[in-house]
């Protein structure tokens, strides 16, 4: 035990990998080892080096963001009958708002004259401006016409029960989309609507930096993950570029499978 070295831990990691344990499970093993040696040092006062360095942790795979297919969008929205819910979901789909940003949206943040919304204190405590499409503006206006007269500044309110008239919570919005997802048969979450907007913009050849600004991403690397999903744009870019290459060398550019 006391003679264990980093090389021993690395061999142990290889052993766990051979047993086909997941990176997350292996990292859990390393945390236990690291904690045990920390205990020996802090509680037992043994002069030992911790062989399970934090840098040994395996990198966890990050699942790609999922988006709705174009054909699923009308199927989902067909069952959304409440003006409030339609407006909330359209702000996610067309403006790229996070569910927390929808819940915290205030009346004074909406600028209909300029067709834009000021998102205050978004993720990372950053402010940003997003723009409102015509259909999202119509959905929001339809809700605001029905919204009860109140001094409450938050836009979206609870409509029934003991909390009627109070701002709807993040979990309340999530429960509404879960309800409609089940009713429509379209698997969808609040964040998927936001991912769908990003993917659609990219497929429509919007600049990556523009999408980064609209979504409020701190790093362009986060936004670049959508490139892996944007097969339509990748396909167009490929054929456009490869056509130029082949025309340059005088090769027939008529595409199609040849038997």
Question: Which residues form the catalytic set?
Answer: 98, 123, 191, 194, 217, 226
Cα–Cα distance measured from residue 202 to residue 192, given in angstroms and rounded to the nearest whole number: 15
Backbone angles phi, psi at 129, to 5 degrees: -110, 135
**Pick from 146, 65, 144: which is nearest to 105 by CA?**
144
Cα–Cα distance measured from residue 36 to residue 216, given in angstroms and rounded to the nearest whole number: 41
DSSP secondary structure code for residue 28 in this structure: H
| Contact indicator for 118, 163 with CB cutoff of 8 Å | no
- Burial class for 161, CB neighbours closer than 10 Å (0-12, 13-18, 19+): exposed
Strand order from edge to edge, sheet including 110-111 = 110-111, 116-119, 128-131
Backbone angles phi, psi at 60, to 5 degrees: -90, 140
| Contact indicator for 103, 170 with CB cutoff of 8 Å | yes
Cα–Cα distance measured from residue 107 to residue 100, given in angstroms and rounded to the nearest whole number: 15
Cα–Cα distance measured from residue 202 to residue 226, given in angstroms and rounded to the nearest whole number: 8
**Pick from 28, 67, 78, 79: which is nearest to 190 by CA?**
67
Computed over its alpha carbons, how large is the radius of gyration of the chain? Answer: 26
């Amino acid at each position: 035990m006391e003679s264990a070295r980093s090389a021993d831990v690395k061999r142990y990691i290889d052993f766990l990998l051979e047993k086909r344990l997941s990176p997350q499970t292996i990292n859990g093993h390393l945390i236990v080892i690291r904690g045990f040696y920390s205990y020996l040092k802090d509680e037992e006062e043994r002069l030992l080096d911790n062989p399970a360095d934090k840098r040994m942790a395996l990198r966890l795979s990050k699942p790609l963001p999922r988006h709705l297919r174009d054909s699923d969008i009308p199927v989902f929205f067909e069952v959304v009958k409440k003006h409030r819910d339609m407006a909330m979901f359209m702000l996610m789909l067309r403006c790229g708002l996070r569910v927390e940003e929808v819940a915290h949206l205030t009346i004074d943040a909406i600028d209909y004259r300029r067709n834009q919304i000021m998102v205050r204190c978004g993720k990372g405590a950053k402010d940003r401006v997003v723009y409102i499409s015509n259909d999202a503006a119509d959905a929001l206006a339809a809700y605001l016409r029905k919204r009860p007269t109140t001094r409450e500044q938050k836009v979206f309110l609870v409509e029934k029960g003991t909390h009627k008239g109070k701002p709807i919570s993040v979990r309340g919005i999530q429960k509404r989309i879960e309800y409609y997802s089940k009713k429509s048969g379209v698997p969808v979450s609040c964040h998927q609507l936001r991912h769908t907007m990003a993917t659609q913009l990219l497929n429509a050849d919007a600049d990556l930096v523009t999408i980064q600004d609209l979504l409020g991403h701190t790093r362009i690397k986060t936004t670049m993950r959508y490139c892996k999903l944007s097969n339509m744009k990748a396909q167009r870019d490929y054929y456009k570029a490869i056509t130029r290459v082949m025309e340059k060398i005088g090769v027939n550019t008529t595409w199609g499978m040849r038997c």
